[in-house]
Structure 1
Amino acid sequence: MRATFCLVGTEVRKYPALVARIVREGHTLCNHTWHHELDLGTKPPAEIKANLEATNREIRKAVPGAKIKFFRHPGGKWTPAAIAVARDLGMISLDWDVDPQDWAKPGAKAVHDRVIGAVRPGSIVLLHDGGGDRSGTLGACPAVLRDLKRRYGITLLR
């Protein structure tokens, strides 16, 4: 199973080896702004572009030549300007349809139940690895993957 990792530039700078591992294992990269700026889309296009380009540069410092296919605006606060700039930089704006609100740290069972209750074929599930204690999110993943495998017959790659 492959995932898409939405990367914040300042975190890429701290953990370049992790970004290299993400690419080495065949996962997809997504630009998630330099510092998770929720209001980035309200800025002038030149400022949006500078932010996204800085993030892409940092990703490519960790993995030269990395393909960055997607852009995900923090908080889903999409604006036409943010979408246009991402498109001009060759990125598709990525949204989601299943948000178990794991950012609120509801615990593994709640994350699992929310994902499994909402997921459909073609769903994009939003999960977070930043913002403090992520034990609930991490704890939910094995059961979520098991149940998705059972429901949809997906194969888990190791």
Structure 2
Amino acid sequence: MKDDQLTPGRRKVLRAAAALGLAATAGCAGADPSAAPGPTAPSGAAAAGPPAARALKPSAYRLQPMAGHGPPRAPRALPRVRKAPILRLDRRDRSMVLTFDDGPDPRYTPAILRTLREYDVRAMFFVCGEMAADSPDLLREMADDGHLIGNHTWNHPLLPKLSRAATRRQIESTCDVIEHLTGEPPAWFRAPYGAWNRNAFQLGAEYGMEPLAWTVDTLDWTEPGAKAIVRRVYAGAAPGVVVLSHDAGGDRSGTVDALRTYLPDLLASGYRITVPNRYTT
């Protein structure tokens, strides 16, 4: 059948098929095989989509990091900004909290950990960032044993003498080290020398930490010997007290020996040595 013999309907079908073929050929010839497909605006420009996520600054402390391929963790509720540190816990049972500052120190911290492990007791360690970075295995051992690890700044400065920016660096860098080595950000902060100021309270809360001081000071930093340390712990023992000792910053052999004496005695007398939950009152 010649073309001029086609019926009008047949001619329309053939013309439509030819037009479709030309359009497909033109589209394939002009397409960039490396370009991802997507909608286009009427003008031919790419259609607007969801805005790209803004990259975090490299120095920004990651309060809520993502781990693995699971969903992101829910944001932590930040504590309120306090005007004074917590000195003791509001406990009606015979509970006490043991805390150790300034470490970890490979000379003394391992012995303290062994004693705590022997009696199945959990304590709090307020670590300095530079010490933690130098002894990462000790920090992981603390976490593996169930102890709470708090932030005690990077290198133990007197915070009221620092600018706000310098205080932030001290706190943030130590938070980074603790979270990197243990997988968890610290929930507690203690100012060196017990010297608190507004910046310490505000920045500690900003990084999700409660400020904890102490009730009983063993004064072990003066190196008085194990017997004097034991006497001070016995004299201050009471429900809810927080005991301050040190596992670094000097000769802490007296602290190590004292713990071996007073810990079993406290347990035998009915005290429970524990660690606090996040303080919310």
TM-score (norm 2): 0.53
Q: Which of residues 60, 64, 73 in structure 1 aligns to 2:179?
A: 60
Structure 2: runs of 5 or more not aligned: 1-120, 275-281
| In the alignment, structure 1 residue 49 sits paired with structure 2 residue 168 | yes
Q: Give 1 or 2: higher helix fraction.
A: 1
Give the structure 2 partner of residue 40 of structure 1.
159
RMSD between aligned alpha carbons?
1.5
The higher-RCO structure (CA 8 Å, 6+ apart) is: 2
Write out per-residue CA displacement over residues 110-130 of structure 1, whole angstroms, 9 at most, x where no aligned residue. 000011111211110001011
SS of the counterpart of 2:272? coil
TM-score (norm 1): 0.91
Query: How far apart are residue 18 of structure 1 and its match?
Result: 0.4
Give the structure 1 partner of residue 246 of structure 2.
128
Separation in structure 1 between the aligned mates of residue 226 and residue 197 of structure 2, nearest angstrom:
32
Answer yes or no: is the 8 Å Cα contact 2:214–2:244 preserved in 1. Answer: yes
Distance 1:155 1:96, change over 3 A: closer
Write out per-residue CA displacement over residues 28-65 of structure 1, whole angstroms, 9 at most, x where no aligned residue. 0100000011x2233222221121000111222322x2
Give the structure 2 partner of residue 76 of structure 1.
194
Separation in structure 2 between the aligned mates of residue 146 and residue 25 of structure 1, nearest angstrom:
18
Higher alpha-carbon Rg: 2
Give the structure 1 partner of residue 126 of structure 2.
6
Give the structure 1 partner of residue 220 of structure 2.
102
Give the structure 1 partner of residue 139 of structure 2.
19
Which stretch of the first structure deviates more once superposed, 141-150 or 119-128?
141-150
Separation in structure 2 between the aligned mates of residue 46 and residue 92 of structure 1, nearest angstrom:
20
Q: Which amino acid aligns with 2:143?
A: V
Write out per-residue CA displacement over residues 10-42 of structure 1, whole angstroms, 9 at most, x where no aligned residue. 1001100000011111110100000011x2233
Q: Which of residues 137, 151, 165 in structure 2 aligns to 1:31?
A: 151
Percent identity over the alignment is: 37
Give the structure 1 partner of residue 267 of structure 2.
149
Runs of at least 4 residues of structure 1 off by over 4 A? none
SS of the counterpart of 2:242? coil
Which stretch of the first structure deviates more once superposed, 53-62 or 3-12?
53-62
Query: How far apart are residue 97 of structure 1 and its match?
Result: 0.6
Answer yes or no: is the 8 Å Cα contact 1:42–1:79 preserved in 2. Answer: no
Answer yes or no: is the 8 Å Cα contact 1:69–1:90 preserved in 2. Answer: yes
Answer yes or no: is the 8 Å Cα contact 1:9–1:35 preserved in 2. Answer: yes
